[in-house]
Structure formats: structure tokens, C-alpha cells
């Protein structure tokens, strides 16, 4: 491509950051110094354009090193990857963790989302000077939460939760955060070997493959190789396992669809872009049991005939990134990944792909665009990912928890797994309990416990709390009231009650929580996170937020009924006509607050 590069060149740090990923430039046209002969042969073009999937990692590399993406950096990346500067700018400005304006090397991201503002009242307006407001950081069990990113030759990321206002001010001033709490603290049931999904949390060292192996690790993989790909899919189908990311699609059917594709190049993606406000179960698994994900992904790839796997990991999970990076490296060294895994003849490897602050990139087709180096906008379906997915090839996309459920299915049997749970919801489920309970955290239960039982499992309500509402399924889920505590937590019971389990969020809001404030935050969240592609979501989320602002101010007046009707109209068009699940669910929680909790009175 004939690039037109405007003024501005990368400084040494930026060049090093890019070169550390792409290698030194070989040609002057790609930014190399002219050699003494002053000659060059121009190659590149097609071969460079095949590297577009390195765009987001390269932007990360620059952002990690200097803290922002300058014009010079974009120009240099443009030469190195043969992508027009405008396009790189479009991608860089899509992600909230990047900035195209110069900013300090140290950024203090303070969560102002649902659980954290309920716990501490921390909002955009009350942030200390110099802190950056952040959507849910996925540490709701110890709200309120802060993520510090300090860029430099080695980027430093620290999580502090819970954080006091004084501590946040200290972090902004440059102090280091104390060491993060042990992973197992987020799963109060642990250590307990009888758990199915959390059996190794607090028991096996997440950095040690030997610990993993001595705690039942890689047994499912051996068994999978022994019984063969078709039988693996049969077991998963028999188990009745459905996706745990929120959409509850049958996993066995998805795998079978990919396995039957005529195209032989196939991909597996583990969706670890956990960003639904209130959700942190995947974080605990990724941090606490990373080898299990490696094993489960290898089995999924073997079953579906995929040669390469990606873990699309949200950018705000530093400990998960560290532990996963270690697990993949160690597993590769021990031949649990790579060529001819355990002499099975099966080749498979995993790449971690870091997200950069975009909730929408948890939408499966948005992941494809993000990995391919485009803006993370969802694609139109059909065609479905099982036919045309990543790089145009058949692709399986599974959530972290979904994949980890495959291990007990293969270790025992699909039939055994299906014996757990209710008629319509099979197996074990992780719930992320946060808010006004004594022991917030991730809880493993068999499908079928009631909301009341789960809250009791989480230590019960705090002594001075009474329940005002419980948010199920996150911002895209719905509120239920104190009268709904006997709701059975199964997919079918939730559906029948007009609500959803979504990603497993159970956020208990007591009498002290301002529901108007929670609703306005939900509206603000969807407005910020909409990709902007389709009109119902792009404009609808703004109009929804404006209508809520009016309702809060003039609740109970003549205009209330008008604005309530407006909200219902907006909800319907977003649900009916948005391209993807984000817009389709952007009104759900608000709708439940209007109809079930009746927070506004007309």
C-alpha cells in the first residue's frame, strides 16, 4: 500500500517498544536506517499485511512503555505493519486503556461501578484528583477496587482492593500498593478438594505444574486422547453443559458444529474478557488454576480439530496474565502444548491476547475483529462463528468457566455430570456474590439452590442490612426484590420468573444503596461501552441515560409517565434492532427496576 505518513516520528523508546515485538526493521521503507550502499529492495506488502493481528499487541507494547500512543508511534507502526495511520488511530481510540494524548506514566484506575459505588460511594465526582474513573475491575468481592498501571521498560500493574480514599490518594501520589491478597480469599469455600471447579484453589500452587499434576491435573487430557475426539464431544453433549458466559448455548452442539466443518483450519478462543459488572469468577479461575484452562483448551481443541487457541484476556487482570503466561510456558516445556502433545500426534498451542478496555470485546464476533487488528465491533450474524469466525475460519468461542467444566465431564463422564443439577440446568455453577453479605466471593454450587441458600452460603446478610434488591446477571441482567429469595437458581426457573442468571452475578444491595444512582451507573456503563456501530444502541443508550436523569429529578410528577413510556420505547428498539447482545440487553436491568421494583412512581 502507498502509505502517506504525516509529520511526527517515533522516539527511541517507542521504536524499541515496537521492535521488541516485531523485530528490527529490515528496510528503509519500513523505518530502517539506510545502509551504506543506500540501496533497498522493497518487499512487504502482502507479507506485512498478514501481520495485522499484531496491531493490538504492538499498541499495547507502546502503551506499556510510554503510557500513550503518539503520532510518531502510530506513524512508525504504520510503516512496520503497512496499515494506514488513520486506521491505527481508529483502533487505538476504540480502547479505553489507550490514550492518544500524552499522559503521565502512572495511571490510577478507580472502579466506580455497581459493587464499588455501593460499597464506598465512590463515583466520578468524588474521585481524588489525578485518578481515572474505571468500569468494573472484576474484584467486587473486596470492593472498592483500584488498578494502578505504571508504564516503563517493564510495566507495573498493581491491584489494591479494598482501597480507602486515603490509600487511593497515596497511590495517585506514587506510593506502591501493598501485596495483593491471596487468590483463595476470593473463594471462601476453599480449600476443599471435594469441590468440582474450585478443587485446587488454595491447595495447588497456581505456578507449579507438579502441584497441578499431583492434584488430578492432566488426567482428563490423557483420557480424552484415549477415547478420541468424537467421544469427547459425545460426553460433553451428554453432560448437558451450556455456556457459562451468559448466553447458555449448548457446548456440545457448538463443538460438533465446528468439528463437522469441511474447512480444516480452525480456531479455539477462550473468552476471558470478563467485564460484566459484578462478575469475577473467571478471574479467580484464571489466577488460581491456570493449568486447568490449558488442559481444558487442549481438550476442546482436540475435540474440534483446532490447531491454535487464543485466550482473549481482559487487560485489567494483571495476576491472571502473569499466572497464565507462566502456565502456558511451563506446559509447552513439558509437552502439554506444542507439537505431538504427549505423543498423541496432536499439535496445539495457545496465545494470550490482551484486551485493552472494551466490554464489547466479550461479544464473540467482536473478539474476532479485535484479534485481527480491527476495531472491536461485532459482526453481523449469520454467518455464525462455527462456520466463519476468526480469520474467516470455523471457530469455537467458549467462556473460561465453560471450558473448566469440561475437565470433570471427561474425568467422570457426561452422564455423571448430567446427574447434577435440575432438569433444565446441568452441573455445577459458579456465582459471584458481592454486596451486603458477610463473606462475598465466588461460590460453587449445584444448579438448583435458591437465592436465599446462596446468600446464606456467603455468610448471610450483614447484621445491619436488609435486602433492598439483588442484581442477577450483572448490568445486562436484572434486579429481583426481597420477595424473590426463594427463586431457584436454574436457567429455567430464572427464565420463568422473568429474569436471568447471566454470568452468575448475585449482587446484594441493602437499604443504604441508592437505587437511582445504581440505575444511572448502569445507563452510563452501556453508553460508554457501546461500540457505536448501530443506531439503536449508539443513540438509544444516550437517550436512556438522559431519560433516567429526568426521572430521578422529577419522580412522581406529571412528566414521569411520559419518561417511563420513553424508556420502554427505547428498550424495545434496543432489544429488537441492535446488532449484538450489548444493545439487546442494555435496557434489561433498568426495565426490571421499573417493572419489578417499581423504583419510579408515575
Q: Contact positions toward other proteins, by CB under 8 A?
A: 1, 3-4, 6-7, 71, 74, 83-90, 93-96, 98-100, 124, 133, 135, 357-358, 375, 380, 520, 524, 527-536, 538-543, 545-553, 566, 569-570, 572-573, 575-579, 584
Report the nearest approach of other proteins to the CB of residue 361 (Å): 11
CA–CA gap between residue 292 and residue 282 (Å, rounded): 12
List the grid coordinates of 312: 482473549
Q: Which is nearer to other proteins, 378 or 473 (CB)?
A: 378
Q: For residue 154, give the DSSP letter.
A: S
Please list the residues that pair with 310 across neighbouring strands.
269, 351
The residue (of 274 and 529) whose beta carbon lies closer to other proteins is 529
Specify the DSSP class assigned to residue 477: S
Q: Smallest gap, in angstroms, from Cβ of residue 254 to other proteins?
A: 18
- Residue 583 C-beta: closest distance to other proteins, Å: 9
Which residue number, 69 or 197, has a Cβ lying nearer to other proteins?
69
Q: In terms of DSSP H, where are the helices of 157-289?
A: 165-172, 209-214, 219-227, 229-239, 251-259, 281-288
Measured from the CB atom, the residue of 291 and 368 that comes closer to other proteins is 368
Rounded to 5 degrees, what are φ and ψ at 320? -65, -40
Name the minimum Å distance from CB 366 to other proteins: 11
Taking Cα atoms as reference points, which of 426, 279, 429 lies closest to residue 359?
A: 279
- Least distance in Å: CB of 275 to other proteins? 12
> What DSSP designation does 135 have?
S
Q: Which is nearer to other proteins, 75 or 405 (CB)?
A: 75
Q: Indicate the residue among 309 and 376 with the shorter CB distance to other proteins.
A: 376
How near is the Cβ of 441 to other proteins at its closest, in Å?
Answer: 28
- Asked if the peptide bond before residue 191 counts as cis, ω within 30 degrees of 0, the response is yes
Which grid cell is 446?
449445584
346 neighbors 302 (Cβ within 8 angstroms): yes
Look up cell 492518544; give the residue: 100
Q: How far apart are CA 243 and CA 252, in angstroms?
A: 10
The CA-based dihedral angle spanning residues 10, 12, 17, 18, taken in that order and rounded to the nearest 10 degrees: 50
First to last CA, the chain: 60
Pinpoint the alpha helices (H) of 305-412: 318-333, 364-371, 400-411
Q: Specify the residue, 90 or 182, whose C-beta has the smaller distance to other proteins.
A: 90
- Nearest distance, CB of residue 550 and other proteins, angstroms: 4
Q: Which is closer to other proteins, CB of 133 or CB of 155? A: 133
User: What is the nearest approach in angstroms of other proteins to the Cβ of residue 96?
Assistant: 3
Q: Which of 436, 523 has the CB closer to other proteins?
A: 523
Q: What are phi and psi of 426, to 5 degrees?
A: -100, 140
CB 79 within 8 A of CB 25: yes
Residue 534 CB, shortest distance to other proteins, in Å, is 5
Query: 133 vs 203, which CB is nearer to other proteins?
Result: 133
Q: Which residues partner with 109 through β-bridges? A: 132, 147
Taking CA atoms, 357 is separated from 20, 360, 524, 600, in Å, by 23, 9, 16, 33
State the minimum distance, in angstroms, from the CB of residue 183 to other proteins. Answer: 28
Rg (CA), the chain: 24
Cis peptide before 9 (omega within 30 of 0): no
Amino acid at each position: 500500500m502507498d502509505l502517506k505518513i504525516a509529520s511526527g516520528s517515533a522516539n527511541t523508546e517507542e521504536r524499541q517498544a515496537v521492535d521488541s515485538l516485531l523485530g528490527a526493521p529490515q528496510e528503509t521503507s519500513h523505518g530502517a536506517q539506510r545502509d551504506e550502499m543506500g540501496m533497498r529492495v522493497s518487499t512487504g506488502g502482502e507479507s506485512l499485511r498478514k501481520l495485522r493481528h499484531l496491531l493490538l499487541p504492538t499498541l499495547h507494547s507502546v502503551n506499556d512503555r510510554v503510557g500513550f500512543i503518539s503520532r510518531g508511534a502510530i506513524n512508525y507502526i504504520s510503516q512496520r505493519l503497512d496499515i494506514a495511520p488513520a486506521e491505527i488511530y481508529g483502533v487505538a481510540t476504540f480502547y479505553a486503556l489507550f490514550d492518544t494524548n500524552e499522559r503521565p506514566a502512572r495511571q490510577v484506575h478507580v472502579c466506580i461501578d455497581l459493587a464499588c459505588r455501593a460499597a464506598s460511594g465512590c463515583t466520578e465526582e468524588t474521585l481524588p484528583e489525578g485518578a481515572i474513573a474505571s468500569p468494573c475491575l472484576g474484584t467486587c468481592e473486596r470492593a472498592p477496587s483500584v488498578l494502578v498501571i505504571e508504564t516503563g521498560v517493564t510495566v507495573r500493574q498493581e491491584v489494591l482492593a479494598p482501597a480507602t480514599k486515603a490509600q487511593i490518594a497515596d497511590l495517585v501520589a506514587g506510593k506502591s500498593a501493598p501485596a495483593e491478597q491471596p487468590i483463595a480469599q476470593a473463594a471462601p469455600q476453599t480449600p476443599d478438594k471435594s469441590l468440582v471447579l474450585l478443587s485446587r484453589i488454595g491447595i495447588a500452587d497456581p505456578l507449579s505444574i507438579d502441584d497441578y499434576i499431583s492434584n488430578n491435573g492432566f488426567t482428563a487430557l490423557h483420557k480424552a486422547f484415549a477415547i478420541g475426539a468424537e467421544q469427547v464431544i459425545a460426553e460433553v453433549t451428554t453432560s448437558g453443559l451450556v455456556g457459562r458466559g451468559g448466553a447458555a448455548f449448548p457446548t456440545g452442539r457448538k463443538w460438533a458444529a465446528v468439528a463437522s466443518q469441511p474447512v480444516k483450519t480452525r480456531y479455539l478462543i477462550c473468552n476471558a474478557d470478563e467485564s460484566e459488572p459484578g462478575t469475577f469468577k473467571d478471574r479467580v479461575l484464571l489466577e488460581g488454576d491456570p493449568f486447568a484452562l490449558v488442559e481444558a483448551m487442549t481438550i476442546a481443541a482436540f475435540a474440534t480439530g483446532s490447531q491454535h487457541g487464543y485466550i482473549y484476556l481482559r487487560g485489567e487482570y494483571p495476576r491472571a496474565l502473569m499466572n497464565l503466561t507462566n502456565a502456558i510456558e511451563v506446559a509447552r516445556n513439558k509437552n502439554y502444548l506444542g507439537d505431538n502433545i504427549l505423543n498423541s500426534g496432536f499439535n496445539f498451542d495457545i496465545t494470550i491476547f490482551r484486551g485493552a478496555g472494551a466490554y464489547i470485546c466479550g461479544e464473540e464476533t467482536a473478539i474476532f475483529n479485535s484479534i485481527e487488528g480491527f476495531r472491536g465491533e461485532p459482526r453481523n450474524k449469520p454467518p455464525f462463528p462455527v462456520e466463519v469466525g476468526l480469520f474467516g475460519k470455523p471457530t469455537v468461542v467458549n467462556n473460561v468457566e465453560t471450558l473448566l467444566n469440561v475437565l470433570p465431564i471427561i474425568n467422570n463422564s457426561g452422564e455423571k455430570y448430567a446427574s447434577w443439577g435440575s432438569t433444565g440446568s446441568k452441573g455445577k455453577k459458579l456465582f459471584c456474590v458481592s454486596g451486603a453479605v458477610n463473606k462475598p466471593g465466588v461460590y460453587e454450587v449445584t444448579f438448583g439452590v435458591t437465592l436465599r441458600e446462596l446468600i446464606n452460603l456467603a455468610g448471610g446478610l450483614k447484621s445491619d442490612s436488609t435486602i433492598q434488591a439483588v442484581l442477577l446477571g450483572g448490568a445486562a441482567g436484572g434486579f429481583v426484590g426481597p420477595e424473590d429469595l426463594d427463586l431457584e437458581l436454574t436457567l429455567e426457573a430464572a427464565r420463568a420468573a422473568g429474569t436471568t442468571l447471566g454470568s452468575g452475578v448475585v449482587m446484594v444491595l441493602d437499604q443504604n444503596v441508592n437505587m437511582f444512582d445504581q440505575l444511572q451507573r448502569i445507563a452510563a456503563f452501556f453508553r460508554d461501552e457501546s461500540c457505536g456501530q448501530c443506531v439503536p444502541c449508539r443513540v438509544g443508550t444516550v437517550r436512556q441515560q438522559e431519560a433516567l436523569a429526568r426521572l430521578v429529578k422529577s419522580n412522581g410528577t406529571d412528566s414521569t409517565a411520559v419518561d417511563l413510556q420513553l424508556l420502554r420505547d427505547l428498550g424495545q428498539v434496543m432489544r429488537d434492532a441492535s446488532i449484538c447482545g450489548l444493545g439487546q440487553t442494555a435496557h434489561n436491568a433498568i426495565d426490571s427496576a421499573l417493572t419489578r421494583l417499581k423504583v419510579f412512581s408515575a
